[in-house]
Amino acid sequence: LDSNKEVIIKVQRPDLRDIIEQDIFILRAISKEASKYPELVRGTDFESLLDEFLRVLHEEIDYLQEGKSCDHFRRNFKGYYRVYVPKVYWQYTTRKVITLEYIKGYKITEKEKMLAAGMNLKEITREGCNIYLKQLLTDGFFHADPHPGNLRIMEDGRLAFFDFGMVGHVSKELQIKLVNTMIHLISKDYRGVVEDFAGMGLLDKDSTNLDDVAKDIKPLYDARFESDNETSFKEILEDMAEIVYKYKFRLPIELALIIRALLTLEGLGHSLDPDFNVIRAFIPFIQRYMF
């Protein structure tokens, strides 16, 4: 800029909206054909899924909305030293162009460089997890795409967030249900876990025998939590794969974004600190949340 400030300018590819609309049109045609085969779709409402998919995509390619989300995130972490969010230069921002402050630092994958700079990777990982839990369980507004390209460790150890095209919202009601699910899972109250699933819209109470689901879950997680090795969030989800298919689980979009973000967070954390465990990191935060 004229002020000698370095900036990043993101420019949308030409005709992107038209290309997306064409793809959605094709997917709608496929979903209508697939809906003729009940055993293939197994009760999944692909039309509604596509509507939701299109809504999220339209938000992601609206750079004015991305800038507003960036400012929203910054406000949530005002006074929180360990988080940095780049400034949006609104005078150089439109729906198809966004101009952001350039942040120097290390990519989250540059582990050796950070170690050479004397950074404590365990502390960075722990703090990063706390930052995400704050987003999910306190703010109710979270960065839904925390892959390595959207995060940077600044030279002073702060964690900088980029690219707010994909964000998620968590209602207070859903926050409580997420906490309850984790408490019920850790305490091996599987009927409680299944009730939480139904409360979050994953299961239909009227058409599903919740006792049967709890009975199927029990041996999976008894074995998982009784083993000497700490279980991971990824392993918990993998254990559920057959159950999800058998009982025709549904996955609301916001819950899908939360799961995706936590899986990515766990992978990033583990790459920085091999001892990192997102379930273990949840426990003190959940205790504070309850109090």
| 170 within 8 A of 258, measured Cβ to Cβ | yes
**Residue 6 φ/ψ region, left for φ over 0, alpha for ψ in the -120 to 50 degree band, beta for the rest:** beta
| 204 within 8 A of 252, measured Cβ to Cβ | no
Number of residues written out for the chain: 291
**Residue 232 φ/ψ region, left for φ over 0, alpha for ψ in the -120 to 50 degree band, beta for the rest:** beta
Specify whether 145 is catalytic.
yes
Beta strands in 37-184 (DSSP E): 83-84, 97-101, 106-107, 141-143, 151-153, 159-161, 167-169
> What six digits make up the tokens of 130?
């706390």
- The catalytically annotated residue of 145, 163, 196, 273 is 145
Tell the burial category of 276 from Cβ atoms under 10 Å away from its Cβ (0-12, 13-18, 19+).
buried
Active site residues: 145
